[in-house]
Structure 1
Amino acid sequence: MSTLIKNNPVPNKYVVFQHHQLGNNYNELYLNNDSSTSLNYNQNTQASLYSNNNGSSLSLRRTHSPSKQSVRSLKSVNQTRQQQSKQAPKPLFICEPFVKIALVKGSYKTIVQLPKYVDYHEWLALNTFELFNHLNKFYGVIAEYVTPDRYPIMTADPKTEYVWMMPNGKTVSLPANQYIDHALTWINNKINDQTIFPTKSGMAFPPSFLKEIKGIYIQMFRIIAHIFHNHFDKFVHLSLEAHWNSYFAHFISFVIEFDLIDKHELEPLRMLIDNLETQGKIIPFSKNTL
């Protein structure tokens, strides 16, 4: 069973940044399961987003680097499976009422936009840290179900397998729990690397920062896609679908606002993203000005 990163403290630089430059208005959302709650960015409330934690912890270790090219089409591997998927019903997360269940109304654009007088790199760093920690907690809810016998390869939809890049440049198939464990550890190591995410005053972000951020978001999206396609029913069973949907709307809004993931990488959740655009919860890619 995959274990998780627990209680990773926010670097001091980002604590100061969040509390003193932004005020107490960032972590105000999603405190209850009332879908009628409206977005209110200026409300003076400090809280934890999408709060659910199973208390698991992740043992850190050195892992190999993932690759943007580590996506394998399963069409050539299993043509029959793909043909069957064409006749299969839509995924549960795209069906009503689940696709419309959320904790808030309105667009998430207002909470992902770069605030006035806030440094661009600081904003990316803070939100990346927050979104990663919440993803880690959500995965903790279903981690015990991600076993090698049930999920011997890391997939999103039936047409997509994610493979891991080894030091020699070769890609290998891993069970989903191992892939996710590698990805979470890899992201955690990046976030705690002072040369990438500097936390001391006067330290500059490296020229490669945006590239590093994009790599992190690709891996987070792959974990999200796996959860949606393989474990959404578990969130429904636990009455957490509104929390999970709200998290994803926040995540994808941030990705769109700052152009952090190529469109082709988002294909496994394209139907859901289109639906959220139609609902007005996220801005369409075509309207993104970046």
Structure 2
Amino acid sequence: MTSGDESASSTSRRWPVGILRRSGGRAARRVLHVQYQAVAGSAAADPDDTVSCFCRKARRKEREGEGAGDPKLYLQEALLERKLPDLDMRQLVDLPHGLDYNEWLASHTLALFEHVNLLYGTVSEFCTAVSCPDMSGPAGRTYPWYDERGKKSRIAAPQYVDYVMTHTQKTINDEAVFPTKYANEFPAQFEGVVRRVVRLLYHVVAHLYAAHFRELARLRLHAHLHLTFAHITALDRRFALLDHKETEVLRDLEVALRLSEPAGEGAEEPSPRRSPVVTQPLASA
């Protein structure tokens, strides 16, 4: 195969058509990749020192008879690194003039899936049925799994995450849901599909904070997790994709990362979903 054939083959495997997926989508994802990568080289306090110090204090409290409670290591000042300013993140998720709303949601959903999947993969060996028998989030929140028929079941965290990633991969590979071919339209219920995917990815992020932040900090990946959280939070704030009850477990982190104001200091109550400005007709409208 010639280099020209290889180039053509590589291009055909990407988004071949569509305003965003043909050009803007790849550009947006390149920007996301560069911005996420920029966090890695930050010079800050040694996470190992902060983690070890915090754990020693927690153990000392236990020995002295105080309940350990929920330590929330991710709220420690030395571990609140996030190099991308909030203003830039809001601009990153804002719908550009001339782009289709569904195309924009599809691009950000793909980016979030990639980064959440990569982050979980780095600590998956620490997430087992023994160490994580429940899919847990901060403040004692647990997430049961609901199958396609709505049946509720309690499963271990690694199995839950596997279900999330398998469901998301199957969804984005479905041409009827995430169309890539010419003249194919997004389904009428596409926003609902995105809402479910984003909600499930948020559960994985919440579990990473609750159960595996220590490992991520020691691997110096905590800033990447903060940036992923800032991304999903900004996307939700712009398009109201998540219910308030889903995001309340990490509201204190939103405040710590300056993504929202503390309650009683100018904080706004959650508003109903805002209708996006769509600059061209949509089949799903």
CA deviation vs aligned residue, 1:249-273 (integer Å, no higher than 9, x gap): 1121112111100111112212112
Greater per-residue helix proportion: 2
User: Does 1:144 pair with 2:131?
Assistant: no
Partner of 2:143: 162
Asked if 1:29 is matched to 2:32, the reply is no
Residue in structure 2 matched with residue 210 of structure 1 by the alignment: 191
For residue 13 of structure 1, report the CA deviation from its aligned partner.
3.6
Number of aligned residues: 231
The RMSD of aligned alpha carbons is: 2.9
TM-score scaled to structure 1, two decimals? 0.71
8 Å Cα contact 1:156-1:268 kept in structure 2? yes
Conservation of the 8 A alpha-carbon contact between 2:244 and 2:270: no
User: Residue 249 of structure 1: which of 225, 230, 235 is its match?
Assistant: 230
Identity fraction in percent: 27
Alpha-carbon spacing, 1:35–1:258, altered in 2? closer, same or farther (3 Å): farther
Structure 2: distance between partners of 1:85 and 1:141: 33
Q: 1:171: how far off?
A: 1.4
1:34–1:103: 8 Å Cα contact kept in structure 2? no
Q: Which amino acid aligns with 2:185?
A: A
Q: Which runs of 5+ in 2 are unaligned?
A: 1-12, 44-64, 262-266, 275-285
Within a 5 Å distance, the mapping from 1:1-290 to structure 2 comes to 10-13=14-17, 17-18=20-21, 20-21=23-24, 24=27, 26-27=31-32, 28-32=34-38, 33-34=40-41, 88=69, 90-99=71-80, 101-107=81-87, 108-166=89-147, 169-277=150-258, 286=269, 290=274
Separation of aligned partners in 2, 1:265 and 1:23: 30
CA distance in 2, matches of 1:116, 1:88: 48
Listed one character per residue, the Cα deviations across residues 128-155 of structure 1 (whole Å, up to 9, x for unaligned) are 0111011111111011111101111111
In 2: Cα distance, 1:260 partner to 1:197 partner = 18
Spell out, residue by residue over 1:196-241, the C-alpha distance to the aligned partner (whole angstroms, 9 max, x if none). 1111121111111011110111100000000011101111101111
Paired residues of 2:216 and 2:222 also in contact (CA < 8 A): yes
What is the Cα deviation at residue 19 of structure 1? 5.6
- Provide the rounded CA distance (Å) in 1 between the counterparts of 2:66 and 2:117: 29
Q: What does the per-residue CA deviation read over 1:152-182, in whole Å, with 9 as the maximum and x for residues that have no partner?
A: 1111124211111245643111010001101
Q: Structure 1's 166 and 132: CA in aligned 2 closer, same or farther, altered over 3 A?
A: closer
* Pair 254,35 (structure 1): closer, same or farther in 2 beyond 3 Å: farther
Q: TM-score, structure 2 length as denominator?
A: 0.72
Structure-2 change in CA distance of 1:169 and 1:11 (3 Å)? same
Alpha-carbon distance in structure 2 between the residues aligned to 1:193 and 1:155: 29
Report Cα offsets for 1:32-66 as digits up to 9, x if no partner. Answer: 33559xxxxxxxxxxxxxxxxxxxxxxxxxxxxxx
| CA deviation vs aligned residue, 1:95-136 (integer Å, no higher than 9, x gap) | 21212x113234210111001111111000111011101111
Q: Contact 1:35/1:104 (CA < 8 Å) preserved in 2? A: no
